[in-house]
Structure 1
Amino acid sequence: MSGLPRPITTSRYGDHPKLLGPDNGLAGVFAFFESQGHSDPAGAWQALTSTWNWAAPLVTAVPRAGFPGPVARPAPGGFRLSGLWRPPSDHGTGPWLALPLAPVRSGGPDLFVVASKVVPAAVEDGGTRSVFRLEDVYVPAGFVTHSAGVPLRAGDAAFLWTAVAALALGAARRMTDVLAAPATDGPARAQRQGPVSSTAVAAELAAVLHDERLSLAASLHGAPSARQGLPASDEERLAAHVGRAGSAVHHVVAAAYEQTSASGGSTGRHLLVNLIEDCSPILQQARYATELLLPHDKTSSQEG
């Protein structure tokens, strides 16, 4: 890590080091977050969303005043969101809408992103302004962030893509480490593993991740920071590369889980299942990161 650029933020979360941001070169961002995703996926995701409000460039609704504020109840892999919001005047300019809680809760996630298509038509509220209501709408944890974080800009999309792809690759690398760990229940487990051992499968999956990691790192070599700006063609290529990395990670995770389920071994299975649950927000975000924040030129055209 000694060759990485100096972190620019002053925020800390738990024992995590200061986070890199959109003013750092993308190669350094990638190396930093891949390492963090490998060492502590859940903590790294919490640190990212607590430090940087990635939903800031999205169109945001306003909680309906004068009534009990919107609420979010924890649910497996995410939250159930209910409440009344006033649609922004420019609602409909994009496929995603950010919905804040009110009043803002200190410390907890309080900004939820949903697909615009799930938002019902607004109705007149007392003949003045229109409102819409959501009732127990499921929002995956990867679509939740903190409004208290430093707002990212539309032009910072490349930073978010790079950080999320790196976290996903690092988290998946940790999963292959767990899969490759020696059996804890002796010969009986070896007999259940079948023709292909978990260690062999882990090695194959680790090789896939290694190739994807090297490929993405090579594409970012010498790239400027998101704030310095990438040419439109380079940003488009990065978005495509991040999408491929996300697909590779999902393949690795599915294959690792399938192998663990087939080979038995309750201790190893529980370790991997717990790890997948910890990583679920990263995996959810990795699948949609380039859709949530579009390349800068596309975002600008939509906002205009």
Structure 2
Amino acid sequence: MAEKTMKDLLRPPGDSDGSGRSLLVGPEAGLLAVLDAYEALAHAGAEQTWEAFTAAYDWTSPVERALPAPDAAGLLPTATPYDTGRLVSGRWELPGGDRQDRRWLTLPVPPAAGTADPSPAWLFAVPAEALLRYGTRVPTADGFTMEVVDFYVPAGLSRPAAAPGNRVVTAEFVGVGVAAMALGATRRMAALIGDRAAEEELAGLLTNVRKALRQVLGARARWVTTSHGAASWERDLGVALKRVEAVARHAMAVAYGASSESFGAGEGTGTGDGGNEEAKPLALWSASLLQNLRFSADLLPEDRLPDPDIQRNSSA
């Protein structure tokens, strides 16, 4: 993608490229258009597309938000960079207490430790089950707060709260948009293999799950006329998104391994140091997309898949 186009992509929400059309496709365009647009954009630049998307749309908005609470020393929660994510520590009041019927919660973290400013600097989407399992209930006069220490949250489940756009969006829009980005980024990675047969095999897998997702999206108008039909369609969408996530995760791992091996041998246009200058950052940003895709798909009414990025907390 041309440099000018990428700069235009990162304009504040509502700006355009001078042609009168927004470069960031919103929910009003329809889910099929969202799929096509974000796949193409991520194929050209996964990092820039994800950053622009997460800045424009509050993808945590479909999830209940906890309220930061001071600890025994009067300090509010903190988030410390660790690996590619952050370690979150502190106390929060949970909406509705320890209800068992929710899958995810959003944990806001204020801008600085030791301040009384309650406005969040970061928003973290965390599995409610993991929070209740690894957190500690701290009794209060009104009930309890939930405390966690060094609870790891990967980059794909973290969002700056002070982003220029905080548009509320649905789980369907987030899921389709992120699935599209994952498909585009994975197709880009597959092209770096340097092996035409392997590239075509992975492209075939991606094409199949993309076609299945498009079929579900195309059937939306026929199903959502009744509450029963809408629920059935949402389940189908959840299945389709999780299939995209599983296939994209597999294809990304295969493509990155193959490209690193090929370029490490000095083939193609790589660096010859065991990796490729484009493949390494692309794999990193794609990991964030896949983390978020599992989150957004999990918001739909379908059986959950365990998130391996959260398993680190089991040793806390």
Please indicate the TM-score interval, normalised by the length of the shorter structure.
Answer: 0.7 to 0.9
Cα pair distance change 1:124/1:13, threshold 3 Å? farther
Alpha-carbon distance in 2 for matches of 1:223, 1:48: 23
| Contact kept? 2:235, 2:300, Cα under 8 Å | no
Alpha-carbon distance in 2 for matches of 1:288, 1:159: 13
Cα pair distance change 1:162/1:128, threshold 3 Å? closer
> Which residue is 1:267 aligned to?
271
Amino acid paired to 1:150: R
> Which residue is 1:69 aligned to?
76
Which of 12, 15, 30 is residue 25 of structure 1 equivalent to?
30
Alignment of 1:109-188 (within 5 A): 110-119=122-131, 120-125=135-140, 127-147=141-161, 149-152=166-169, 156-180=170-194
Number of residue pairs aligned between Structure 1 and Structure 2: 263
Amino acid paired to 1:50: A
Alignment of 1:200-279 (within 5 A): 200-221=197-218, 223=220, 231-263=230-262, 264-265=264-265, 267=271, 269-270=275-276, 271-279=278-286
Alpha-carbon distance in 2 for matches of 1:228, 1:55: 27
- The secondary structure found in structure 2 opposite 1:89 is coil
Long gaps (5+) in structure 1:
1-8, 181-197, 297-304
Cα pair distance change 1:147/1:272, threshold 3 Å? same
> Offset of 1:14 from its aligned partner?
11
RMSD between aligned residues: 3.2
| Contact kept? 1:59, 1:98, Cα under 8 Å | yes
Alpha-carbon distance in 1 for matches of 2:176, 2:225: 15
Cα pair distance change 1:128/1:219, threshold 3 Å? closer
Structure 2 residue 100 is the aligned partner of structure 1 residue 96: no
Long gaps (5+) in structure 2:
1-10, 303-316
Alpha-carbon distance in 1 for matches of 2:191, 2:167: 34
- The secondary structure found in structure 2 opposite 1:122 is strand
The alignment-based identity, stated in percent, is: 31
> Offset of 1:178 from its aligned partner?
2.1
Alpha-carbon distance in 1 for matches of 2:260, 2:213: 30
Higher relative contact order (CA 8 A, sep 6+): 1
> Offset of 1:39 from its aligned partner?
1.3
Return the TM-score normalized by structure 2. Answer: 0.72
Alpha-carbon distance in 2 for matches of 1:128, 1:59: 19
Which 4+ residue blocks in structure 1 deviate beyond 3 angstroms?
Answer: 12-18, 221-224, 227-230
> Which residue is 1:11 aligned to?
13
Alpha-carbon distance in 2 for matches of 1:98, 1:207: 36
> Offset of 1:219 from its aligned partner?
3.6
Alpha-carbon distance in 1 for matches of 2:50, 2:121: 12
Cα pair distance change 1:101/1:235, threshold 3 Å? same
- The secondary structure found in structure 2 opposite 1:57 is coil
Amino acid paired to 1:20: V
Cα pair distance change 1:96/1:136, threshold 3 Å? same
Q: Deviations over 1:269-304 (max 9, x none)?
A: 23312210122110112233211x2249xxxxxxxx
Alpha-carbon distance in 2 for matches of 1:13, 1:102: 29
Return the TM-score normalized by structure 1. Answer: 0.75
Cα pair distance change 1:117/1:215, threshold 3 Å? closer
